[in-house]
A and B are shown apart, each in its own frame.
Chain A
Amino acid sequence: MQSLGFAFALIPVLRRLYPDRAEFASRLGSYMEYFNTQPYLASFVLGAVARREEDRATGRNIAEDPSVIKKTLMAPLGALGDSFFWGGLKPLAAAVSVAALLAGAWWAPLLFLALYNVVHVGLRAGLVFTGYSTGGDVAALLSRYNLTRMARLFKVLSLSVIGCIAGTVAFWEPPFRPALPIAGPAVPAVAIGVVLGMTALLRIGGTPLKLMLGLAVLCLALVLGGFWAP
């Protein structure tokens, strides 16, 4: 899926290294094979391939096909990147921003973009150079950027902020502040109960779509049944 984008990104490098048209086309063709990894960590692969193509073109290493590293790296980097960016950084930035928004901060979207992109853009740019300087050495990547440990920390922090969201429910700003017939510490207790109850439903096969629709039906039933009247 990402092979075309990868080949497109390599065109300037290949054009410079292979002035001969046939060789250029042949090298470009070798990057059209299946490639699928975490898109940001593709920068590392790109740097590594550029280095190996350079070694090949200058005769430093003609035995090895530079495109092989692409296949070797895509699966481990996919797992590493998915865990760090999609499973760690993104939910943390989202949780912090939503917590700020619920507290009435209109600038929460800007906070989200700042939290996410300070890490993302810095890593994405740096990884091209790391890939180039190490020639695709994953051990060097892991020692320079401890992504696994950071992913774990980000997950924990996002869970704590999610807990904070439930704990501050009585102080949410409209339109999210529910008009409840209870007050004081009972409000966060009910909120965490709702969160844990919905999590239990998700564990027995609920999906976001089903739960949202079920929630709408429940709200309608509560209002029509006279159990909730703001």
Chain B
Amino acid sequence: MGQVLIAALAGGLIGLDRTALGQFMVSQPIVAGPLTGWLLGDVSAGLAIGGALELIWVLDMPVGTFVPADATVTAVSATAIAAITGRGAADVPLLGFSLLLTTIMVPVTMVADHLMRMRNAQIPELVLGGSGMPSEARVTGWHLAGLIAFFLKSFMLCLGMIPAGLAAMALFLSLPPATHRAMTLFIAFLPLLGAALVLRKQSMQVLDPYLLSGFFMAALCVHVLQIPVLAAVPLAAGAGWLGVRFGRG
């Protein structure tokens, strides 16, 4: 129970960074996951979960009336479920199933965000009060109360999702090995799904020339020239830059 509480508190605090405080992107899955993993003694689980979720939700933006998924709560909860179940050394199937569980719970986070927006829309009227004039104290009070409300939203979501996930994880552990192997394959596909989601949002074309230039440059570097993968990343980005500089971009 102590670890669930620690994770929920972390979720509440990290969740503030989404919209209410700072927006330094600590709330992005690639940071929120490892941070939660570090608090619970399994940084590797957090890194894997954050890395798998980052590209999937990075372009899920609040445009118009669309309420995006709460990727922070998802990353924190998935990491906590894997780290607590794996006792600090979660194996790959556990990571995959934690990701799947929290994905199923994503609509709950969207409903919570929607309710929060409805509540926020009423605040200016409350600040103005009966007199129709705001006071410094009321503006300050309601503004700071907003931070508490945002904290509680993420905290309560984590507090609900993590125990539910731990219960489901107990069932998963009793399932046949084939399901565990399926989760190993599932997690391997997630970065490719993330790549597809970024391509979908960033380009009008499926066969985007910049995507293909980065792909061929990287494949050439690592397969033919045997350059380390980390060095291939800036080279692929450089290929894109050359395309903009000298191409039709």
Of B106, B136, B219, the residue contacting A167 (CB under 8 A) is: B219
Contact A196 B206 (CB under 8 A): yes
Indicate whether A155 reaches chain B with its CB closer than 8 angstroms: yes
Could you tell me the distance in whole angstroms from the C-beta of B40 to the nearest C-beta in chain A? 16
Indicate whether A168 reaches chain B with its CB closer than 8 angstroms: yes
The secondary-structure label for the interface of chain A is helix
Indicate whether A162 reaches chain B with its CB closer than 8 angstroms: yes
Could you tell me the distance in whole angstroms from the C-beta of B52 to the nearest C-beta in chain A? 7
Contact A29 B240 (CB under 8 A): no
Indicate whether B95 reaches chain A with its CB closer than 8 angstroms: yes
Could you tell me the distance in whole angstroms from the C-beta of A208 to the nearest C-beta in chain B? 5
Mask for A187-204, Cβ within 8 A of B = 1, else 0?
A: 010011011111111110
Of B28, B30, B54, B214, the residue contacting A163 (CB under 8 A) is: B214
Contact A11 B233 (CB under 8 A): no
Of A3, A8, A174, the residue contacting B92 (CB under 8 A) is: A174
The secondary-structure label for the interface of chain B is helix
Tell me which residues from 223 to 239 in chain B have a Cβ below 8 Å from any Cβ of chain A: 223, 228-230, 232-233, 236-237, 239
Indicate whether B170 reaches chain A with its CB closer than 8 angstroms: no
Contact A161 B34 (CB under 8 A): no
Residues from chain B with a CB closer than 8 A to the CB of A97 are: 30, 54
Could you tell me the distance in whole angstroms from the C-beta of A80 to the nearest C-beta in chain B? 14
Give Cα A171–Cα B243 distance, bound, in whole angstroms: 26
Indicate whether A228 reaches chain B with its CB closer than 8 angstroms: yes
Indicate whether B200 reaches chain A with its CB closer than 8 angstroms: yes
Number of A interface residues, CB 8 Å? 101
Tell me which residues from 183 to 230 in chain A have a Cβ below 8 Å from any Cβ of chain B: 184-185, 188, 191-192, 194-203, 208-209, 211-213, 215-216, 219-220, 222-224, 228-230
Contact A159 B127 (CB under 8 A): no
Contact A188 B191 (CB under 8 A): no
Task: Report B's interface with A, CB cutoff 8 A.
Answer: 19, 23-26, 28, 30-31, 34-35, 43, 47-48, 50-52, 54-61, 63, 69, 92, 95, 99-100, 103-104, 106-107, 117, 120-121, 123-124, 127-128, 132-136, 139-140, 142-143, 146, 178-179, 181-203, 206-208, 210-219, 222-223, 228-230, 232-233, 236-237, 239-241, 243-244, 249
Supply 8 A–B pairs (Cβ within 8 Å), ascending by A.
A33-B124, A98-B191, A99-B229, A108-B51, A156-B244, A164-B236, A164-B237, A209-B69
The 6 closest A-B pairs by CB, nearest first: A163-B214, A160-B240, A160-B214, A167-B218, A164-B236, A163-B215
